[in-house]
Amino acid sequence: MTAFSQNPATSNGERVSPPYSTHTMLEPDTEAAALALLAMLSTGDAAQLGCAPYRPTAGNWLYGGPAITDLNAILGWKLHIWADSMADWLQVAQVALPLLNQLGLPHKTIACADMLAAMDHSVQEGKAFTVYTTSVAELKTGLHALDMALMAAGCKHPDRVHITGDKAIGHSGRLFYRYDRDAQGAYRLNDGQYKPHDLADPFAYWAVESQLAQLPVGYMMILGRQYTGAGLWSSRISRCHARVERQEAGLLVSDAGSANGVWVAGQHIDTPVLLAPGQTFSLASGDGSATLMVLAAP
């Protein structure tokens, strides 16, 4: 038997203690082992994964984590984790299920191998795991933790996959999200769009105003995937993307050698720009509808 020992790195390369315990996992990664783990989830043996037995429901799903007693308390946004075979499911389950239980997030996974096969080549393809949250903060924390854990465990998907009606996010190639409610709060059928047009995307902006407000005069902050733990999931963000320096007159922003640029007022900048009070800037996109990051100058 092999123990869970994932210890994901922070975005600045330092190692950190995982936010979940060490539990037993099955090997080798074969379909037989996957079926054994699947059968174990709904029994007392689920304790080996650090969780209570999963709850089978109609529709061939197994529910884990806190029971959902009030649908209105669940955020309309939900996450999907991709797996397209039982061997693939096993690889992901051994990482995701203990973590989701440690984080206390309601979630579900397939209850049988036939269900995964039935999803193939349909709008359900790849949706082997669904994660529910109660707030945007919880959504972002869960996504960031899952992405780090999957990457640290070597579970990055080798191909570019797509879930119909979902939007991809993260670096593992396995995480997707969508909004499943309509304007009246009812379940929204999959129309191929990941959200209603008039709904803001919680991942469109990454605000660090509080960090910038604490930046002393004469100090600078590097923004990018390599230098921040706040979660920059887009591959369009360079590891060292932008530099922000606190000066007496305000915040001076400049490109730190990024691949996709820094934008102020919709214009790509080639030289440092002193932001006016309340002015914003973006990383990797000058189009406000696709802005990956916006900061407000104090």
What is the third-level CATH fold of 209-296? Answer: Tumour Suppressor Smad4 (2.60.200)
Domain parsing of the chain, residue ranges: 2-179, 209-296
Reported as a single tens digit per residue, the pLDDT across 106-162 is: 999 999 888 888 876 666 778 899 999 988 888 888 888 898 899 889 998 878 788
Report the distance separating Cα 113 and Cα 154, nearest Å.
23
Chain centre distance of CA 259: 23
User: Which one has a higher pLDDT value, 71 or 25?
Assistant: 71
The reported pLDDT for the residue numbered 8 is 32
Give the residue, 210 or 120, on which the prediction is more confident: 120
What is the DSSP annotation of 72-121? GGS-SEEEEEE--SHHHHHHHHHHHHHHHHHHT--EEEESSHHHHHHHTT
d(CA 229, CA 226): 8
291 or 80, which is more confident: 80
Angle formed by the axes of helices 86-103 and 136-152, to 10°?
Answer: 130
Task: Say how far apart CA 116 and CA 106 lie, in whole Å.
Answer: 20
Question: What gap in Å lies between CA 74 and CA 69, rounded to an integer?
Answer: 9
Residue pair 258/243 in contact (Cβ under 8 Å)? The answer is no
pLDDT category of residue 71 using cuts at 50, 70 and 90: confident
Between CA 88 and CA 30 the distance in angstroms is: 9
pLDDT score of 76 more than 70? yes
Cα radius of gyration (the chain):
21
Lowest-pLDDT choice from 82-96, 169-183, 244-258: 169-183
Structural contact between residues 227 and 140, judged by C-beta atoms closer than 8 angstroms: no
Position 70 confidence tier, pLDDT thresholds 50, 70, 90 = confident
Amino acid 105: pLDDT: 94
How far apart, in whole angstroms, are the C-alpha atoms of residue 69 and residue 56?
Answer: 15
In terms of Cβ atoms closer than 10 Å to its own Cβ (0-12, 13-18, 19+), residue 81 is buried
CATH architecture of 2-179: 2-Layer Sandwich (3.30)
Q: pLDDT tens-digit profile of 7-47?
A: 333 333 333 333 333 344 444 557 788 888 999 998 989 88
The candidate with the shortest Cα–Cα distance to 50, out of 113, 99, 123, is 99
Question: Is-contact 278 222, C-beta < 8 A?
Answer: no
Report whether the peptide linkage leading into residue 56 is cis, meaning its omega lies within 30 degrees of zero. Answer: no
CA 167 vs CA 23, 143, 175, 192: distances in Å: 31, 13, 9, 10
pTM of the model: 0.67
Tens-place pLDDT, residues 224-281: 776 554 445 566 778 788 899 989 888 899 999 998 899 888 889 999 999 887 787 8
Q: Is the dihedral of CA 63, 65, 71, 77 positive or negative?
A: negative
> Which residues face 77 on adjacent strands?
179
Whole-angstrom distance, CA of residue 55 vs CA of residue 108:
9
Where does 132-283 have alpha helices with state H?
136-152, 209-213
What tokens appear for 34 in the block? 């996957």
Strand ranges in the chain using DSSP code E only, listed in sequence order: 2-3, 24-25, 55-57, 61-64, 77-82, 107-110, 127-132, 167-169, 175-179, 220-223, 242-247, 250-255, 262-264, 267-268, 273-274, 280-283, 294-296
